């Protein structure tokens, strides 16, 4: 809200113009023939008016209108040391417009606050990496105290935001607000499904970011004052990964600080400045989007980048709790978000150890900052540092139309490549702070 300023606040003939003050005083009734007030009195009046104008300006500067446009005053605490409870709400952007955008929002919730009478779980417990229950979102639960970075998560073709809840709810428990739109022409329930509409989805993602910036300053909204609107990341799977890459075009807002591309690649114009750290996750035997597409996007990106490979795995089974690789993907993505959005250097330093499990994952990094500690990094046979980027195959990830995507939760009959040592049963990667998002000692069973 912007308050009206005094009529003379910006007037050069106002409170600091002595000649105008004397002229006004000379015209006052009953002052004929008088020479006016003493100079000290007139100076005091001018000072009082100037102080009043400044006070009004200060009051106006503290209002929500300024908070919505100036991010310099935002305060963000350190990365959380333990998981939050998780809340969930629904909202719709432009419900009467040509591209209405339903959005599911998961967020850190206050477990001690009373829950609205209409609140309740949105479904059953989310299975954890070792078969245990993950966070169960509570509908419209009160938001936890503080501000939280925001992740815009994009689904793939023929999918929905809730089909990715195994990952997004755990990010929310780790201290992030996750906003996942259901894109109008590529979601599972789209009446007019159009694969080519993927090229329009980056603009939808930016539309959502602008909406959340305004929502943070909207009086009465439950999320108002809880969004760190200067700290956004974009993430997505398959066609959602292409959508994420498309948000990093030339001249994009510095609000967007990081990106995670899972089983995806780049669109034309992707990965232009400003430079932002990027994480790529890809199965080595992906039959839908070949790993070479993700590798080419990694090579074409600018600035710090990480490529987490899962040899022998397909298009997304590693996003399902309990499947091989889920614990490593969850730990790596959470470490990456904590580093890039919370400036958590310890998360950056432990990312390689959390990502690697010999025989199951590989890791390639480029231009990552030096470790925070003075001790030398641990050597591991599965990580490659400062590696020369793979050969860039002309056009491999430009103009390529993402093909049909079967999301991880929709895979019923597909079989993941069997690991030579059996099935991975890892401890949850989203708990264990302050010790870290470590997968710790994974055990294997036949």
Residue 242 has pLDDT above 80, yes or no: yes
pTM confidence score: 0.69
| pLDDT score at 40 | 52
Q: Which residue has the tokens 């078969």?
A: 131
Per the CB < 8 A criterion, the answer to whether 49 and 83 are in contact is no
User: By C-alpha distance, which of 275, 428, 262, 246 is closest to 340?
Assistant: 275
Q: What is the rounded distance in angstroms from the CA atom of residue 199 to the CA atom of residue 239?
A: 10
Using the CB atoms, write b or e for 143-175: b if 16+ within 10 Å. Answer: bbeebbbbbbbbbbbbbbbbbbbbbbbbbbbbb
Which of the 8 DSSP states describes residue 174?
A: T
3-state secondary structure of 260: strand
Among 65-79, 176-190, 215-229, 286-300, the minimum mean pLDDT is found in 65-79
| pLDDT score at 428 | 31
Residue 168 has pLDDT above 90, yes or no: yes
Residue 334 has pLDDT above 70, yes or no: yes
Percent of the chain past pLDDT 90, that is, above it, reads 58
Using the CB atoms, write b or e for 73-84: b if 16+ within 10 Å. Answer: eeeeeebbeebb
| pLDDT score at 371 | 75
User: By C-alpha distance, which of 223, 277, 269 is closest to 247?
Assistant: 269
Question: Residue 413: which residues within 8 A CB-CB, separation 6 or more?
Answer: none
- CATH node for 85-445: 3.40.50.1820
Q: In the predicted model, what is the mean pLDDT of the chain?
A: 74
Residue 148 has pLDDT above 70, yes or no: yes
Percent of the chain past pLDDT 70, that is, above it, reads 62
Q: 40 φ, ψ to 5°?
A: -65, -40
Q: Is 1 exposed, middle or buried (0-12, 13-18, 19+ CB in 10 A)?
A: exposed
Task: Tell me the pLDDT band of 46, cut-offs 50, 70 and 90.
Answer: low
> Where do the DSSP E strands lie in 216-291?
227-237, 256-262, 278-283
> Within its chain, how far is the Cα of 85 from the centroid?
18
Q: What is the rounded distance in angstroms from the CA atom of residue 310 to the CA atom of residue 313?
A: 6
> Within its chain, how far is the Cα of 218 from the centroid?
20
Among 97-101, 125-129, 178-182, 372-376, the minimum mean pLDDT is found in 125-129
3-state secondary structure of 218: coil
More confident residue, 132 or 301: 301
Give the strand order in the sheet containing 256-262: 138-139, 85-93, 101-109, 177-181, 148-154, 227-237, 256-262, 278-283, 305-310, 362-366, 383-385
- Greatest Cα pair distance, the chain, in angstroms, is 109
Residue 143 has pLDDT above 60, yes or no: yes
Residue 386 has pLDDT above 70, yes or no: no
Q: What is the rounded distance in angstroms from the CA atom of residue 393 to the CA atom of residue 395?
A: 6
| pLDDT score at 116 | 52
Task: Tell me the pLDDT band of 380, cut-offs 50, 70 and 90.
Answer: very low
Per the CB < 8 A criterion, the answer to whether 400 and 268 are in contact is no
Which of the 8 DSSP states describes residue 87?
A: E
Q: What is the rounded distance in angstroms from the CA atom of residue 119 to the CA atom of residue 309?
A: 39
Task: Tell me the pLDDT band of 33, cut-offs 50, 70 and 90.
Answer: very low
| pLDDT score at 111 | 84
Residue 413 has pLDDT above 90, yes or no: no
Question: Residue 257: which residues within 8 A CB-CB, separation 6 or more?
Answer: 231, 232, 233, 276, 277, 340, 341
Task: Tell me the pLDDT band of 153, cut-offs 50, 70 and 90.
Answer: very high
> According to DSSP H, which parts of 197-344 are helical?
201-216, 239-246, 291-300, 326-342
Question: 187 vs 264, 314, 406, CA distance in Å?
Answer: 17, 21, 12
| pLDDT score at 369 | 87
| pLDDT score at 20 | 38
| pLDDT score at 417 | 33
| Positive or negative: CA dihedral 148, 149, 150, 156 | negative
- pLDDT tens for 335-364 read 999 999 999 999 999 999 999 999 999 999
| pLDDT score at 77 | 84
Q: Which long-range contacts (CB under 8 A, 24 or more apart) does 218-225 make?
A: 218/64, 219/64, 222/89, 222/140, 222/142, 222/143, 223/105, 223/107, 223/143, 223/177, 225/147
Cβ of 187: how many Cβ atoms within 10 Å?
19
More confident residue, 327 or 21: 327
The domain limits of the chain are 1-62, 85-445
Average pLDDT over residues 225-236: 97
The secondary structure of the chain in percent helix, strand, coil, rounded to multiples of 5, reads: 30, 20, 55
Task: Tell me the pLDDT band of 52, cut-offs 50, 70 and 90.
Answer: very low
């Amino acid at each position: 809200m912007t308050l009206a300023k005094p009529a003379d606040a910006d007037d050069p003939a106002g409170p600091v113009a002595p000649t105008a003050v004397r002229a006004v005083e000379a015209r006052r009734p009953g002052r004929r023939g008088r020479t006016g007030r003493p100079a000290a009195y007139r100076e005091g009046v001018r000072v009082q008016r100037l102080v009043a104008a400044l006070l009004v300006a200060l009051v106006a500067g503290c209002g929500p209108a300024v908070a919505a446009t100036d991010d310099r005053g935002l305060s963000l605490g350190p990365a959380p040391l333990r998981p939050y409870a998780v809340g969930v709400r629904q909202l719709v952007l432009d419900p009467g417009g040509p591209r209405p955008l339903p959005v599911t929002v998961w967020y850190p919730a206050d477990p001690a606050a009373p829950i609205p009478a209409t609140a309740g779980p949105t479904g059953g417990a989310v299975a954890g990496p070792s078969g245990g229950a993950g966070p169960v979102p509570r509908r419209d639960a009160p938001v936890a105290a503080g501000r939280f970075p925001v992740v815009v998560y994009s689904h793939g073709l023929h999918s929905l935001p809730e089909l990715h809840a195994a990952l997004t709810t755990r990010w929310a428990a780790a201290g992030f607000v996750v906003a996942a739109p259901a894109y109008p022409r590529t979601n599972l329930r789209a009446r007019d499904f159009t694969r080519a509409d993927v090229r329009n989805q980056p603009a939808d993602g930016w539309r959502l970011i602008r909406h959340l910036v305004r929502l943070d300053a909207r009086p009465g909204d439950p999320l108002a004052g809880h969004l760190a609107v200067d700290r956004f990341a974009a993430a997505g799977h398959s066609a959602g990964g292409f959508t994420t890459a498309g948000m990093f075009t030339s001249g994009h807002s510095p609000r967007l600080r990081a990106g995670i591309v899972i089983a995806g690649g780049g669109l034309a114009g992707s990965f232009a400045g400003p430079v932002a750290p990027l994480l790529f996750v890809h199965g080595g035997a992906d039959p839908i989007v070949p790993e070479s597409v993700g590798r080419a996007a990694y090579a074409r990106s600018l600035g710090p980048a990480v490529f987490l490979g899962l040899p022998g795995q397909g298009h997304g089974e590693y996003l399902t709790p309990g499947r091989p690789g889920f614990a490593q993907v969850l730990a790596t993505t959470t470490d990456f978000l904590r580093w890039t959005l919370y400036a958590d250097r310890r998360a950056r330093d432990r990312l390689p150890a959390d990502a690697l499990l010999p025989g199951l994952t590989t890791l390639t990094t480029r231009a990552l900052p030096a470790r925070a500690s003075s001790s030398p990094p641990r050597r591991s046979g599965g990580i490659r540092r400062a590696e020369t980027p793979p050969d860039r195959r002309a056009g491999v990830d430009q103009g390529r139309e993402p093909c049909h995507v079967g999301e991880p939760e929709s895979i019923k009959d597909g079989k993941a490549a069997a690991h030579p040592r059996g099935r991975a049963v890892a401890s949850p990667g989203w708990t264990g702070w302050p010790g870290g998002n470590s997968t710790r000692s994974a055990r294997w069973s036949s």
